[in-house]
């Protein structure tokens, strides 16, 4: 099947929607735990473990991509550190749309001057939608509590880090000659980095927590690697922009999970703001 044909097969669409749900699910799993730090660590370590099991079946990335793998892994350790702070006391229906929706905007704004590409009409519309959604989310946070305002700041910082490793990986994967192996190595090295950080910070608590929450390792590993791996596979069968846009439905899944499973109150104002961010993120990917 020709990915450039513009058609997304039904099976591929279903798989990408499943990947979006998986990404929102592991975030919800982390948010639902009383100890978000250790939960994040074991989920990330699970992703690294799944990656280690897959590596023997993959060809090694090209030498030119290894600096990008190293830098991306370090940046993603910072991402998980910020994720912990974002979810510490913050609501998922507030934080997740900001993190995932702002990142495509930041990539487009920063990457344009670097590559010489200009935003088209659809992308400028997307910028307006995302900015409007972010301002609306900030306004609802400002009206509630200092904790919600803190969540806004950390969510936007996290979005900056997501945008950073997205651009690093965009350059690195093109040099790798092996996109799957490139991605798996990042999962493995990031998992090791986060694990080392946890051992230094709370080494005594880590093993007991992992033993008591083995499902986090398994579920977290499968969903973190699976959500990205499915998208990577789908991009070989359908247009990359369309698949990237479809993945942004994770924002809607996350909001639904936050309301229905985590019991967060998602009022009309926040729901409207989330919808603006989601529509903007999808339009940005399609532009």
- One digit per residue, the tens of pLDDT, for the chain of length 287 reads 555 445 667 788 888 889 889 999 999 999 999 899 999 999 999 999 988 888 888 889 999 999 999 999 999 999 999 999 999 878 898 889 888 888 777 777 776 666 566 667 777 787 777 777 777 776 776 555 667 778 888 999 999 998 888 888 888 888 888 888 998 999 999 999 999 999 998 888 998 998 888 888 888 889 998 888 888 788 777 776 677 777 888 888 888 899 889 988 887 887 888 888 778 777 766 66
Query: 170: domain range?
Result: 3-286
Query: CA-to-CA distance for 218 and 43, rounded, in angstroms?
Result: 8
Number of structural domains, the chain?
1
With beta carbons less than 8 A apart as the criterion, state whether 41 and 198 touch: yes
pLDDT at 3: 52
Confidence at residue 119, expressed as pLDDT on a 0 to 100 scale: 63
For the chain, the first-to-last Cα distance in angstroms comes to 23
Model pLDDT, residue 251: 85
**Which residue, among 201, 158, 216, has the nearest Cα to 32 in the 3D structure?**
216
- Number of helices (H) and strands (E) in the chain: give both, helices first: 11, 0
Is residue 278 within 8 A of residue 256, CB to CB? The reply is: no
Token output for 225 = 């690697």
Read off the tokens for 132: 């409007």
Q: What is the pLDDT of residue 247?
A: 81
Question: CB within 8 A of 136, min separation 6: which ones?
Answer: 269, 272, 273, 276
Helical ranges in 116-249 per DSSP H: 121-142, 146-176, 179-212, 214-234, 240-247
Single out the residue of 146, 154, 171 nearest to residue 102, CA to CA.
154
pLDDT of residue 86: 92
Q: Name the nearest CA neighbour of 134 among 97, 185, 159, 107.
A: 97
- Alpha-carbon distance of 28 to 8, in angstroms, equals 28
């Amino acid at each position: 099947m020709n990915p450039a044909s513009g058609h997304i097969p039904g099976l591929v669409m279903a798989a990408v929607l499943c990947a979006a749900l998986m990404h929102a699910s592991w975030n919800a799993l982390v948010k639902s735990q009383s100890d978000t730090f250790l939960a994040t660590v074991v989920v990330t370590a699970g992703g690294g473990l799944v990656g280690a099991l897959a590596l023997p079946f993959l060809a090694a990335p090209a030498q030119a991509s290894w600096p990008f793998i190293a830098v991306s892994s370090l940046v993603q350790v910072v991402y998980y550190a910020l994720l912990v702070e974002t979810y510490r006391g913050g609501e998922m229906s507030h934080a997740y749309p900001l993190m995932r929706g702002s990142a495509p905007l930041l990539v487009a704004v920063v990457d344009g001057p670097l590559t010489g590409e200009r935003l088209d009409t659809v992308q400028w519309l997307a910028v307006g939608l995302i900015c409007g959604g972010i301002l609306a989310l900030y306004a609802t946070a400002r009206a509630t509590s200092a904790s919600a305002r803190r969540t806004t700041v950390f969510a936007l910082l996290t979005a900056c880090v997501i945008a950073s490793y997205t651009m690093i990986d965009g350059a690195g994967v093109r040099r790798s000659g092996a996109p799957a192996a490139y991605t798996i190595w990042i999962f493995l090295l990031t998992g090791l980095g986060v694990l080392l950080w946890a051992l230094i910070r709370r080494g005594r608590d880590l093993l007991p927590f992992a033993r008591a929450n083995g499902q986090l390792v398994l579920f977290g590993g499968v969903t973190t690697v699976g959500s990205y791996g499915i998208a990577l596979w789908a991009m070989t069968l359908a247009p990359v922009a369309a698949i990237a846009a479809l993945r942004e439905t994770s924002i809607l899944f996350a909001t639904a999970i936050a309301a229905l499973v985590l019991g967060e109150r998602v009022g009309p104002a926040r729901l409207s703001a989330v919808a603006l961010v989601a529509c903007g993120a999808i339009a940005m990917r399609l532009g």
